[in-house]
Amino acid sequence: MTTRNDVLKKIAKAAKAEGLDFDFVREGGNHSVYQLDGLAIPIGRHKGEIGNRYAEMIYKECEPKLGKRWWK
């Protein structure tokens, strides 16, 4: 299990290493929307921990910019 903040930090660190922008855009209904170098990434607002499968789904949405299986 991991937290939402851990997921955000991991994406931000990888984006910085690649020289990409990772910015908060807006709040949606149940999600916060972030932009990874032009790619919209919705991340659910969860209290506490989120499941590893959900975290991996978020990471997979970042693959077009960060590369295949970048989180491993």
CA gap 22, 26 in Å, rounded: 13
- 0.85 surpassed by pTM: yes
CA gap 69, 72 in Å, rounded: 6
pLDDT digits (tens, 9 = 90+) for 16-71: 999 999 999 999 888 999 999 999 999 998 878 899 999 999 999 999 999 999 99
Give mean pLDDT, residues 4-27.
96
Cα 56 to its chain centre, rounded Å, is 9
CATH architecture of structural domain 2-66:
2-Layer Sandwich (3.30)
Could you tell me if residue 56 is left (phi over 0), alpha (psi between -120 and 50 degrees) or otherwise beta? alpha
CA gap 66, 68 in Å, rounded: 7
User: Which pLDDT score is estimated for 18?
Assistant: 96
User: Which pLDDT score is estimated for 48?
Assistant: 81
